[in-house]
Each structure stands twice: as structure tokens, then as C-alpha cells.
Amino acid sequence: MEPAHRHHHSAYNGDSLRAMLAARLPFAAARPLCRTFQIPTTASKVIPVYPPVEQRARDVIKQISEAKLAQLDPQGVRRKLLSKAEEGCVKAGDIVRVMYDTAKCNYGTIYGYVLSVDRGKIVEDSSLLLRNHIGKTSVETRVPVFSPLLARIDILRRGDPKRRRNKHYYIRNTRLDVGDLESSMRRRKS
């Protein structure tokens, strides 16, 4: 069964609708029937032009990182320690001394064999993984290079050029493992 509204529309076709409109509206006979219409006007339309939207920064984290680096490392000394292009950069296999600022914290000086230099995508996340033996116990310490608590990082001895890998995890608990570095450094001085 078909709905009633379909019978209603099917009674009119396009020609009969035009004839009905022409009978009721005299101006409709002169113009063809169309679905859209436009009202003629003499006033000009003013389109408002707004100033351009401020462009968004593409890499906000990088901008914040550079601002933090200028604050944490104003002379660029620590960046040179991490840069592979620099001659005096820290590499895996080096023995370093990390000295903390005693005014800011009560940490002691740390000696360690650099197992790895972790250079993060964000530079201030970079860190050193140091290994040492204290009282016949192996100790590994991760030191964030750009920590404001650090006073300085000194390279005491360069690594063996035969060990060319970037990470020296393989020395753990082998004959290549480090001994007590702090006592060996004291013996060398005296």
C-alpha cells in the first residue's frame, strides 16, 4: 500500500504545476520555473578581512629544550662532553669523576667506568651510566649530565682503544670488569 503523499505529488507533473502557478501569479508565466532564486540588490557587500591567525610553533618541545639548555649549561661545557664531533667528549670505556655542588646537595664525589653514554632525543635527558666496585660490591650509577646539582665532570683516564663498542655492558662480571676505581686513583696519585 502506497502512502497518501505519493498520490498527492504524482497528480502534478512539471507542466501542470507551471500552468497552475501562471494562473495564480501573473509574473510567474514570464519566467521559467527554477529551484533557486537571487534577489537583485544595488548595495555592495563588504567582506571583512581579518588579520592572519598567529602561526603555531612547529616544535614547541625543542624551543623549551633550548631555553632550558641555555639556563643549565650557559658556557656549553656539558654539551661539548656529549658531542661526538668534539675531541674531549665522553665515550664508553672512559673513567670519570663526577663532583656534586655541596651547596645544593650532600652527595659525595663519584668515580666510575663509563658503561654507556645515553644521548637522548631531548639533549637535557642525556646521562652517563657509571660502574664501580665499592667493598667488593658492583655499583652502577646513572648520572644525568645536565643536572643542576652537578658541579663538574672530569675525565680521568681515556678508555682502551681496542674496546670500540658504544656500550660496554659486556664487561659485567667478567675478567674485564672494573675494580675499586677510587682506591686505584688514590694509589696512582701517591
Is 22 a domain residue? no
φ and ψ at residue 169, rounded to 5 degrees:
-65, -25
Q: Report the C-alpha gap between 118 and 142 in whole angstroms.
A: 10
Q: Report the C-alpha gap between 109 and 154 in whole angstroms.
A: 11
Give the strand pairing for 137-144 and 150-157.
unpaired
Is 133 a domain residue? yes
Is 112 a domain residue? yes
The one-digit pLDDT tens for each residue of the chain (190 residues) are 555 555 555 555 667 766 776 677 666 555 665 666 677 778 888 889 988 887 777 788 888 888 888 888 888 888 888 888 888 889 998 999 999 999 999 988 899 999 999 987 888 889 999 999 888 888 999 999 999 999 999 999 888 888 778 898 888 888 888 887 777 777 776 6
CATH number of the CATH domain containing 85: 2.30.30.790
Is 24 a domain residue? no
Is 19 a domain residue? no
Domain encompassing residue 172: 61-189
Residue linked to cell 658504544: 166
Which helix (H) or strand (E) segment is 188 a member of?
helix 181-189
Is 161 a domain residue? yes
User: How many domains, the chain?
Assistant: 1
φ and ψ at residue 2, rounded to 5 degrees:
-90, 150
Is 165 a domain residue? yes
Is 50 a domain residue? no
